[in-house]
Amino acid sequence: MIYQFYQAQSDLVDPWRKVARHSSRVLRSLAPRTPYGIFLRHFTAALDVFAHAGTTHARPAYGIKSVTLGNDRVKIIEEVVYATPFADLLHFKKDSDRAQPKVLVVAPLSGHFATLLRNTIETLLQDHDVYVTDWHNARDIPTEAGRFGFDEYVEHVITFLEQLGPRAHVVGVCQPTVAVLAAVSVMSEDDNPATPRSMTLMAGPIDTRRNPTKVNLLAKSKSMHWFEDKMIGVVPWRFRGAGRRVYPGFMQLTAFMSMNLDKHIGAHVRQFRSLATEDLESANTHRTFYDEYLAVMDLPAEFYLETVERIFMRHELAIGELQYKGRRVKPSAIKRTFLFTVEGERDDICGLGQTAAALDLCSNLRPMLKRHHVQTGVGHYGVFSGKRWQTEIYPLVREVIQFSA
């Protein structure tokens, strides 16, 4: 009943958030005209913080309208080139005839929409023809579409790479690094012509036995029965996915926020002060981040549970026991795909060494086709978003793709 309780609470509070949002706009316009301006600014600031503090299940827009190409600014058009009930293969098509390397960005299916990688995609677009796995919210997927577990995730990565064709490249961010490595291993063993030329794995849980974080320790401290009993809900009747068992996005968000609760509380206190003092630049920066962060999506229960058990509990990939559709996954089969691993010095979700473990697993890759980078001064999100990503990490990713193209 956990989902039903959450939805009832949301149905009760959301109308008040809408009222608060509308009221704050009206009162803000009145503040300069009354002798109670200071009081109204503080009151409207409180209303605004309350209005924007709730979760939403609607995918935000990517908002990437154009990109610089040489000396020109070219238009970007989003087009779905392949679709399944669980994901779209979304292409950010440039209004240009210039040929560039094709790159598939495999986004996490971990409670947030793929739009969380907006900055990753926008940066890659400068020099590449970019596609992304745009996962669907499980609560909007009818039960008739069937199950979606770890094998189906890997299958999607393979299928999407086949849609891009030969000589493409793949970038896996966080959670999907395991599925990406599995997919490329299977494709390499099968001598699939769409096997990517390079594979960049960023801040992912390849081997969570190395330098385990709080997230890893939680997975080891509970039983699978506990996860299934406490973390799985059923989509309420009025949504398209009614009856589907899911790991609700709001629970993933709660887990992430609880890891740094003081930080999030402090951010909202600062937002109140920014609004009260009319520091609009700081306020807009805060709102842009949290509008994205609070947009959550549900995961199919089977995918979540299999990921917890196979990757975080049993470490199947790391110990050579991971299987895909009944066949053992062999990273040693990868012989021609350039492997680049990236980690953040201050990552509290994927500890140092967890992603680098892929270098050891790909034992038949020549040293010249392996590269590792630890980015100083960044946490988990700083690996694929922000200034350090744009100015220090991305040039290395671009170099790898150019070398292996």
Consecutive H or E run containing 205 = none
Q: Does the domain formed by 66-216+299-404 have CATH 3.55.40.20? A: no
Backbone angles phi, psi at 349, to 5 degrees: -110, -50
Q: Which among 320, 300, 196, 324 is positioned nearest to 246, based on CA atoms? A: 300
pLDDT by residue (tens digit) across 272-323?
Answer: 888 778 887 888 888 778 778 788 899 999 999 999 999 999 999 999 999 9
Q: What is the mean pLDDT of residues 151-171?
A: 98
pLDDT > 70: what percent of the chain? 97
The lowest-confidence range among 255-259, 298-302, 371-375, 393-397 is 255-259
Q: What is the mean pLDDT of residues 360-365?
A: 97
- Point out which residues pair with 171 in neighbouring strands: 105, 200
Q: What is the mean pLDDT of residues 381-401?
A: 97
What pLDDT is attached to residue 8? 72
Q: Which residues contact 293 (CB under 8 A, 6 or more apart)?
A: 112, 116, 253
pLDDT by residue (tens digit) across 45-74?
Answer: 888 888 777 778 889 999 999 998 888 899
**Other C-beta atoms lying within 10 Å of the C-beta of residue 20:** 19
What pLDDT is attached to residue 19? 81
What pLDDT is attached to residue 34? 56
Q: What is the mean pLDDT of residues 98-109?
A: 96
Q: Which residues contact 341 (CB under 8 A, 6 or more apart)?
A: 200, 201, 202, 355, 356, 358, 359, 371, 372, 373
Confidence of residue 214 (pLDDT cuts 50, 70, 90): confident
The answer to whether residue 346 scores a pLDDT higher than 80 is yes
The answer to whether residue 180 scores a pLDDT higher than 70 is yes
Higher pLDDT, 50 or 77: 77
What pLDDT is attached to residue 293? 78
What pLDDT is attached to residue 259? 67
Confidence of residue 35 (pLDDT cuts 50, 70, 90): low
Q: What angle do CA 24, 28, 29 make, to 5 degrees?
A: 125
**Domain residue ranges in the chain:** 2-54+261-292, 66-216+299-404
CA distance 51 to 46: 9
The alpha carbon of 49 is separated from its chain's Cα centroid by a whole number of angstroms, namely 25
Write out the two tokens for 312.
């975080």
Q: Where are the beta strands (DSSP E) in 221-262?
A: 233-234, 245-247
Write out the two tokens for 19.
């009222």
What pLDDT is attached to residue 313? 96
Higher pLDDT, 119 or 281: 119
What pLDDT is attached to residue 56? 81
**Other C-beta atoms lying within 10 Å of the C-beta of residue 209:** 15
What pLDDT is attached to residue 332? 98
The answer to whether residue 98 scores a pLDDT higher than 80 is yes
Write out the two tokens for 128.
């590449």
Q: What is the mean pLDDT of residues 94-103?
A: 93
Higher pLDDT, 272 or 145: 145
Confidence of residue 269 (pLDDT cuts 50, 70, 90): confident
Higher pLDDT, 246 or 69: 246
Write out the two tokens for 361.
């697993």
Confidence of residue 32 (pLDDT cuts 50, 70, 90): low
What pLDDT is attached to residue 37? 58
Query: What pTM was computed for the model?
Result: 0.89
What pLDDT is attached to residue 58? 84
The answer to whether residue 85 scores a pLDDT higher than 80 is yes
The answer to whether residue 2 scores a pLDDT higher than 60 is yes
Q: What is the mean pLDDT of residues 165-186?
A: 97
What pLDDT is attached to residue 9? 75
